[in-house]
């Protein structure tokens, strides 16, 4: 176990029975609203926050999250916006762990190596790829491990 997210979870689990994790679709309803929501979640004691990078076809999500993705994209939210948002909240709330949630073609388009480097540079601790395939999982896992990303 050399991963900081795993260490964090194990340490926190020694102190308390359960951890709280929340999910936001970035840009829905707005990034300004997302900042306020993160502040409220952190003050409420949420330890892990999943930041969903919006996708045009979020097939692993239900209709409400899918609609939030569509609205976010229609308002011009980009992957670069998402990384900047992540960098701001990880800097402001260093005791909270933030993870990126996205889809394979977003990661693939930037290249696995580049996406993982950007995620770590933005302060993210982990990556969830909802539609990751068996064929691509070991390659992405290698890049994540190389960057210290769960």
Which among 14, 17, 47, 61 is annotated as catalytic?
61
In this prediction, residue 8 has a pLDDT band, given cuts at 50, 70 and 90, of confident
Average pLDDT over residues 104-130: 96
Residue 71 tokens, joined: 């609205």
Q: What is the CATH number of the domain that holds 23?
A: 3.20.20.70
- pLDDT given at position 16: 82
Q: Which residue range forms the structural domain that includes residue 39?
A: 4-147
Q: What is the pLDDT of residues 16-75, one digit of tens each?
A: 878 899 999 999 999 999 999 999 999 999 999 999 999 998 888 899 999 999 999 999
Which residue in 3, 41, 7 sits closest to 24, CA to CA? 41
CA triple 16-22-107, angle to 5 deg? 120
Average pLDDT over residues 4-8: 83
Annotation marks residue 50 as catalytic: yes
88 noted as active-site residue? no
| Alpha carbon distance 36, 14 (integer Å) | 30
The active-site residue, picked from 12, 50, 87, 141, is 50
Q: What is the pLDDT of residues 71-105, one digit of tens each?
A: 999 999 999 999 999 999 999 999 999 999 999 99
**Total domains, the chain:** 1
What's the pLDDT score for residue 1?
Answer: 37
């Amino acid at each position: 176990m050399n991963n900081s997210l795993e260490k964090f979870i194990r340490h926190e689990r020694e102190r308390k029975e359960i951890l709280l994790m929340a999910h936001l679709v970035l840009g829905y309803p707005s990034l300004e609203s997302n900042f306020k929501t993160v502040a409220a979640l952190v003050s409420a004691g949420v330890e892990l926050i999943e930041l969903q990078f919006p996708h045009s076809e979020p097939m692993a999500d239900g209709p409400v999250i899918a609609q939030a993705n569509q609205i976010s994209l229609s308002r011009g939210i980009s992957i670069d916006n998402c990384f900047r948002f992540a960098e701001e909240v990880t800097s402001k709330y260093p005791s909270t762990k933030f993870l990126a949630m996205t889809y394979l073609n977003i990661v693939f388009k930037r290249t696995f190596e580049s996406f993982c480097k950007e995620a770590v540079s933005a302060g993210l601790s982990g990556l969830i790829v909802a539609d990751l395939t068996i064929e691509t999982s070991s390659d992405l896992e290698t890049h994540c491990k190389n960057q210290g990303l769960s």
